[in-house]
Structure 1
């Protein structure tokens, strides 16, 4: 069953403490703040904080994903408009299973829409599944249709790298505390030595169905909670859900050329799914510290090179550092101060192969003191410069 039915009862914006029109950056900041405060490592043994941490993580996994966020907003907006609103304010007038019957006129029962009765179909699940592409799930046909258990939530983490490690790529080790597959039952939820058995009520499909007039409705099987299997002897360590909250070390390979703020996806390294369901993903946001020598523009590496006046006038070959050793850069005679020289292929490595360029900007370094002989010779040069008719400000300021 797609998660739309659960979304009607959950306010993810409220969980993160942001408004419904919050930007992606505001959502990300709110999640980071709450995740840092509620993290199990900072609240050992605090069940309430752990539960809140899970809810905040679930809210972030939906609101940080543009497609899921759009689907969530559309699902809630459809029922907030009053089309199926009852007196209790809950979408569709549904009161959480209290047994009250709400009708829209005639004999149409909204309990049928939301799936009332032991064998009732999950009409809302079918409708929303069709609208948003989730599908209503397979129906019990006697042969059984494979039911995909609920995937684990995505996780967010951060790491900080030096400028040069980010440019050249590296591997970092991270310690993550999150719901992970139970090490005792290996995620099955069943006590070691036993196995889950196929649910006889839904024949392993996870859904039961019935006809209501001209309509067919389906909903998750209540005997197996929509998983398609029943655990008679649960694992004593995880209580049958196949998941434990524990700390684990993950090696994260940082590709070459990663930039500040970039997110790296590690498939299957997020929260474990219940009872062997697929795990979510881990998204690592990379922060890059500045470098005292280099900056970058895309894959080009930029550096300012201090030079003397005579090197600019007469020309020279100067050694310039790169990410890998040094390279000789030729300064042509009569080079202007501030000119940028390009050295091909000595910049930041590209993921597809090759590298950007090294951009060397020459800057005149003025001496702070000269001995008497050098001062006299400089004065002589200044006189010779004037005598030659050279005027550095000719035409300037006009």
Structure 2
């Protein structure tokens, strides 16, 4: 049965490499044999060391995520008992790193090189609800690092070349000795002169200063598909920041910011609007035209006897679903307006109506009462002569 390496370190399967490393460091400080002589702590220390060795190796972690156990598949790493046994492999330096923050002597990873991948970029663009519904091509300006056209990414001036760093001898790291309860421990850190690259540029490019890239503003076109919504991101591959030393560019993400519409409120693929209906129109019935998204002028029927807070649904008149074309619904919420002021003629007409329906007096209605119908259902009865 595969071991729960994530559980051993107390992290979830979605944990980042840094989160795994922090969890291991914390446990290593508590359980190291020189700090905690308890036998149970020593056994636990072996377990967390094995778990860290597995989860810090991309291939071994992939096997774990697929439900396997790399140490049961000939993946190696499990050793004999004692301090140097379980799961250290070449990672003894990580134990020292848990205490000192740097790698131990003998665990140098080598120079990282000057050429590094570029970072991803993010920008936001505003869209109207109509643009989200129909799709649009947006022309936007981006400000990113691009390849230096003078040195084409080399960072050097003319025919000059990078040279090995004199500080670290090309290793990309410098070492120092620290005293601890374990004795003298050699640690390593990135070289401050070459910043871990292992080489320096004595004659840098006069345009980019040796970085191999310069900042530039440029205009690009972004095709926004039908049905996008607020917060969605469109990925433009290799349109982000060019990396140091002219490294491959990252991606550019364009995030949609949907602007508020003056009539409609969006809820997923459905649209909602409010229609104010005068009391008489609610009683007699009417229709109203609305300038719907995509469809343009659209008629909404107000049924005779419409009650306050009623809703009329127009199927298929909402927003299109992304990548399917199927549309949501349009919900028209009907707000019945009762007049607060009446002229003498209006008052007389309503008094006539009330005299025709003398039983329509104000009353407290109990639940389940036969007379619990709304005002406008009674108006409908009056107009029908009942």
Give TM-score scaled by structure 2 length. Answer: 0.54
CA contact (8 A) 1:338 1:361 kept: yes
Q: Indicate the residue corresponding to 2:241 in structure 1.
A: 271
Q: What do residues 308-337 of structure 1 show as CA deviations (whole Å, max 9, x unaligned)?
A: 223323322321221131201222222222
Q: Indicate the residue corresponding to 2:19 in structure 1.
A: 73
Q: What do residues 136-162 of structure 1 show as CA deviations (whole Å, max 9, x unaligned)?
A: 99xxxxxxxxx9953111223334444
Secondary structure of 1:306's counterpart equals: strand
Secondary structure of 2:338's counterpart equals: coil
Looking at structure 2, the residues matched to 319 and 289 of structure 1 have their Cα atoms a distance apart, in angstroms, of 24
CA contact (8 A) 1:168 1:348 kept: no
Instruction: Output the aligned Cα RMSD.
Output: 4.8
The answer to whether the aligner puts 1:351 opposite 2:322 as a matched pair is yes
Q: What do residues 345-398 of structure 1 show as CA deviations (whole Å, max 9, x unaligned)?
A: 211122221321111111112335444323211221122233xx4467563479
Q: What do residues 242-274 of structure 1 show as CA deviations (whole Å, max 9, x unaligned)?
A: 211233334344444433344443332221123
Q: Indicate the residue corresponding to 2:305 in structure 1.
A: 334
Equivalences, count = 270
Greater Cα offset, 74-83 or 347-356: 74-83
Looking at structure 1, the residues matched to 340 and 261 of structure 2 have their Cα atoms a distance apart, in angstroms, of 26
CA contact (8 A) 1:196 1:229 kept: no
Looking at structure 2, the residues matched to 254 and 195 of structure 1 have their Cα atoms a distance apart, in angstroms, of 45
Looking at structure 2, the residues matched to 188 and 333 of structure 1 have their Cα atoms a distance apart, in angstroms, of 78
CA contact (8 A) 1:305 1:320 kept: no
Looking at structure 1, the residues matched to 353 and 92 of structure 2 have their Cα atoms a distance apart, in angstroms, of 101
Secondary structure of 2:217's counterpart equals: strand
CA contact (8 A) 2:92 2:104 kept: no
The answer to whether the aligner puts 1:297 opposite 2:267 as a matched pair is yes
Looking at structure 2, the residues matched to 359 and 241 of structure 1 have their Cα atoms a distance apart, in angstroms, of 57
Secondary structure of 1:350's counterpart equals: coil
The answer to whether the aligner puts 1:183 opposite 2:129 as a matched pair is no
Looking at structure 2, the residues matched to 341 and 382 of structure 1 have their Cα atoms a distance apart, in angstroms, of 29
TM-superposed deviation, 1:285: 3.7
TM-superposed deviation, 1:121: 7.2
Aligned counterpart in structure 1 of residue 279 of structure 2, from 309, 323, 333: 309
Looking at structure 2, the residues matched to 384 and 158 of structure 1 have their Cα atoms a distance apart, in angstroms, of 63
Secondary structure of 2:273's counterpart equals: strand
After the TM superposition, which residues 24-35 of structure 1 pair with which residues of structure 2 at under 5 Å, given as runs?
none
1:240 to 1:170, Cα distance in 2 relative to 1, 3 A: same
CA contact (8 A) 1:238 1:244 kept: yes
1:332 to 1:282, Cα distance in 2 relative to 1, 3 A: same
Looking at structure 2, the residues matched to 196 and 346 of structure 1 have their Cα atoms a distance apart, in angstroms, of 65
Looking at structure 2, the residues matched to 345 and 187 of structure 1 have their Cα atoms a distance apart, in angstroms, of 53
1:187 to 1:356, Cα distance in 2 relative to 1, 3 A: farther
Looking at structure 2, the residues matched to 153 and 381 of structure 1 have their Cα atoms a distance apart, in angstroms, of 74
After the TM superposition, which residues 232-247 of structure 1 pair with which residues of structure 2 at under 5 Å, given as runs?
235-247=205-217
TM-superposed deviation, 1:343: 0.8
Looking at structure 1, the residues matched to 349 and 157 of structure 2 have their Cα atoms a distance apart, in angstroms, of 92
CA contact (8 A) 2:129 2:261 kept: yes
Q: What do residues 172-229 of structure 1 show as CA deviations (whole Å, max 9, x unaligned)?
A: 444333322223344455668x7999x9xxxxxx99xxxxxxxxxxxx9xxx999999
Looking at structure 1, the residues matched to 332 and 121 of structure 2 have their Cα atoms a distance apart, in angstroms, of 41
Query: Which consecutive residues of structure 1, in runs of 5 or more, have no partner in the other structure?
Result: 1-65, 87-103, 126-135, 138-146, 200-205, 208-219
Looking at structure 2, the residues matched to 346 and 188 of structure 1 have their Cα atoms a distance apart, in angstroms, of 56
Give TM-score scaled by structure 1 length. Answer: 0.53
CA contact (8 A) 2:156 2:205 kept: yes
CA contact (8 A) 1:162 1:288 kept: yes
Q: Indicate the residue corresponding to 1:42 in structure 2.
A: none
TM-superposed deviation, 1:279: 1.3
Aligned counterpart in structure 2 of residue 287 of structure 1, from 244, 257, 271: 257
CA contact (8 A) 1:151 1:280 kept: yes
Query: Which consecutive residues of structure 2, in runs of 5 or more, have no partner in the other structure?
Result: 1-12, 35-82, 85-90, 97-101, 165-170, 173-189, 370-386
CA contact (8 A) 1:196 1:230 kept: no
